[in-house]
Amino acid sequence: MKNENNNPEQESNEMPVFMPDNLKAASFTNSAFAQFTGEEFSIDFLNMGALGHAVVSRVVMTPSHMKRLALLLNSKVGEYEEMFGEIPQLIEPKK
């Protein structure tokens, strides 16, 4: 799951990864919901706007994959904050 060279086409172990054309365009998300059962976790990524909300992607994975994803994301946020400073939990508009 780790990709040190930031190349989405190739994992760090040099195994080529195929990306279908329909997944090459990114989807913007500004909200996420996670739920779980005894067998799996699922995350719904949403784009919430003034005109309505839409699920843009759903990812389902095993609990062990979810734990590794959480560790990876925590590590990447830490790296980001080392380079650019702390990310605020909530950005308030200036008054």
Overall average pLDDT of the 20-27 stretch? 87
Residue 12, pLDDT score: 60
Residue 7: pLDDT band (50, 70, 90) is low
Please give the model's pTM, rounded to 2 decimal places. Answer: 0.71
What is the rounded CA–CA span in Å between residue 1 and residue 24?
Answer: 18
Q: What is the DSSP letter of 63?
A: H
Q: What pLDDT does residue 91 have? A: 80
List pLDDT tens digits, range 31-68: 999 999 999 999 999 999 988 999 999 999 999 999 99
For residue 8, what pLDDT is reported? Answer: 52
Residue 13 has pLDDT above 90, yes or no: no
Share of the chain above pLDDT 90, in %: 63
